[in-house]
Structure 1
Amino acid sequence: MRVEFHPEIFTRADQILEIHELIQLFLRVQHEWHIKPQDVESAVAFFGRHFPTLAPVYADLALKASVAQAWQAAGVAPLQVSHTTIRDDVCDLRQPAVLLVEDEFSDRCFLLAICRVFDGEDVAEAAARQHLDIRHGGGKDRAGKQASDALTRFRRTPRVALLLDSDRLAPGQVTRCHKVADEVRALGAHVHVLELREAENYAPNRVLAMVRPHHETSKKIKALKSLTPKQRGHFDMKKGFPGGRDGEPQVPRGHGSLYDGVPDRTIELLRPGFGAGLTELMMRAAAGGRLAESDFAGLGAEVVSELRELLSKLRKII
């Protein structure tokens, strides 16, 4: 997070330990110091009085931070730390930010792939350095409860986020996931519910082509291309269409009329789905430089903006 001290802090001598700890967090690049050029002098004088041995290092950090912030584009306002909030702020900032997900391995792969494609190196680095703690929720309800519990560990700034699939079988459908999201959002967490059905629905065709056996996958991809973006976005990418046997409908009833008019041959080709492990393949493809923003743009008009918004939400807590 970007952190700014109230100038008054450097005129007092009763919170030296808290200031020292925050400066250490800046040096470890766990957080970013936002300091106005006009405040550098008082900060340097404070360091000289209270940290004479470390003063040169701290003064250099202050100067570099003031130069850096002068060139930064306007964005999220920095966290304002005052003498009345500093103890709570230290408690909050020394902890890693928390991201609750339904499945830690699968969702981590999804997130790292998005980071690689959408200029999210800072988010990926925070996860690698454990400044962003991605936690396994074990399903939407458990993830929601864990997010609620994580919020209680922060005193002033709730640095907790929740990422959920939507589980939508049709566009705009309100599911249990949205209800869990509303409950946790009301407690102060940053929440993102995917617009499409699941993280796997964001796997571009380039990723699906990696699924073996390739000759069978190519047929399924051809069938998938014949669907509209909305039909593709709510298809069960892993398991396909389970119906069509023993009198069951060709398409599960929960989809309503979404797939009306889709040829039976297309439904049959897509029936097995593409199997598990799609987000892992997405991460591998992204890490290898084989995915671009254009691959995601082809999934739907709002997909690119949604994924950038997801990263933006995480930056607010990191």
Structure 2
Amino acid sequence: MNELLLGALIEDDRDPVYTDWLGSFAPEFTLEWTQMLGSSLTEDALSPSYHEIRIEDRSHSSWVANTLSIGEALDLMSRLYRILVENGFSDRNFLLSLCSKNDREWLEKRVGQEWVEIEHCGGKQHLYKRVLQSKTLPSRCTRTSALFDGDGVRPNAPENQRISDVCYPDVHHHMLRRRSIENYLPRKVLERWAKLSDGLQKEIRTAKVRALFEELGRDQRSHYNFKHGLAGDSRRHDRADDLYLEDRSV
């Protein structure tokens, strides 16, 4: 029960209806319930919820007012949460790699229990369509997050702004500030990648990694085309030649 109701806040903990209800349970449950509410207050102060729902003893719910009946609230909490990603393998691993150890274990446990699903959308176009589908039902919006690349070739110019726009404000989402998940790869990881080859291929890879971190600035690395290099952007109308100036070694 703690798992389902984590994040609950009681409007008036001195209301006789509430105190009589809580007093009807065994002391062990009362203690756990009180601890859960304390954790909720702490979490809400540190990281306010994206969606807030009021639960009342009523016959009909009102999604316009985000006020649910007890029955519909229980139904909502029994359904899984979806995290929409462009690629269900690499993007999933990227998401987990950015989590703290505790958060990663928490998320992996819920995925294993099928309480959370990290959904492969097969690219940004399909992710966009899945967001539109989610927005058709308010109850689905509250159980959906979206994570996607910015795809911008320069700072503060994301190509995928339209996905962010269609998400806001109904669907919780995060658009990467850098171009793609590859732009978050640390130097040590790329140096290990270079060492996986040998001979001339190893020398080429090593030189590319060195140039990436020693000849390019942070903004350049954040928006560099990791898959196809600068030549890969040659046909883009918004290509950022000026961002790199004479840095052509990578």
Give the alignment's TM-score, normalised by structure 2.
0.75
| Number of residue pairs matched by the alignment | 222
Q: Any stretches of 5+ residues in structure 1 without a counterpart?
A: 1-25, 48-55, 271-318
**Paired residue for 1:257?**
242
- DSSP 3-state at the match of 1:172: coil
Q: Within 5 A, what are the aligned runs for 1:116-155?
A: 116=100, 120-155=104-139
CA gap of 1:254–1:117, structure 2 versus 1, over 3 A, is farther
Query: How far off is 1:192 after superposition?
Result: 1.0
- Whether the 8 Å contact between 2:153 and 2:238 is mirrored in structure 1 is no
Match of 2:155 among 125, 146, 171: 171
1-side partners of 2:184 and 2:102: how far apart?
13
Q: Do structure 1's residue 91 and structure 2's residue 75 form an aligned pair?
A: yes
Query: 1:224-303 maps to which residues of 2 (within 5 A)?
Result: 224-226=212-214, 227-242=216-231, 254-262=239-247, 264=248, 266=249, 270=250
SS in 1 for 2:243: coil
Partner of 1:303: none
Provide TM-score, normalisation by structure 1. Answer: 0.60
Structure 1 counterpart of 2:98, one-letter code: I
Match of 2:171 in 1: 189
Q: Report if the CA contact (8 A) 1:40-1:63 is conserved.
A: no
Per-residue deviation at 1:31? 4.4
- 5 Å-filtered alignment, 1:46-65, equals 56=26, 60-65=28-33
1:260 to 1:155, Cα distance in 2 relative to 1, 3 A: same
Instruction: Give how far 1:42 is off.
Output: 2.1
Contact 2:155 2:219 in 1 (8 A): yes
Name stretches of at least 5 consecutive residues in structure 2 with no aligned partner: 59-67
Are the structure 2 counterparts of residues 62 and 222 from structure 1 closer, same or farther at C-alpha, using a change threshold of 3 Å? same
Deviation of 1:112 after TM superposition, in Å, equals 0.8
Conservation of the 8 A alpha-carbon contact between 1:101 and 1:107: yes
CA pair 243-34 structure 1, distance change in 2 beyond 3 A: closer
Residues 193-223 of structure 1 show CA distances to partners (whole Å, capped at 9, x for unaligned) of: 1100001111111221221227333222211
Q: Give 2:188's match in structure 1, choosing from 206, 212, 215.
A: 206
Separation (CA, whole Å) in 2 of partners of 1:256 and 1:35: 52
What corresponds to 2:64 in structure 1? none
Greater RCO structure (CA 8 Å; 6+ sep): 1
> Structure 2: how far apart are the matches of 1:64 and 1:94?
20
SS in 2 for 1:134: strand
Are the counterparts in 2 of residues 35 and 69 from structure 1 also a CA contact under 8 Å?
Answer: yes
Superposition deviation, residue 261 in structure 1: 2.3
Q: Secondary structure at the match of 1:201?
A: helix
* Root-mean-square deviation (Å): 3.2
Describe the superposition over 1:204-252 as per-residue Cα deviations: whole angstroms up to 9, x where unpaired.
11221221227333222211112100000011223323369xxx79x99
Aligned letter for 2:83? L
Matched residue of 2:239: which SS? helix
Q: Partner residue of 1:17?
A: none
Q: Residue 129 of structure 2 aligns to a residue in which SS?
A: helix
Q: CA deviation at 1:260?
A: 0.4
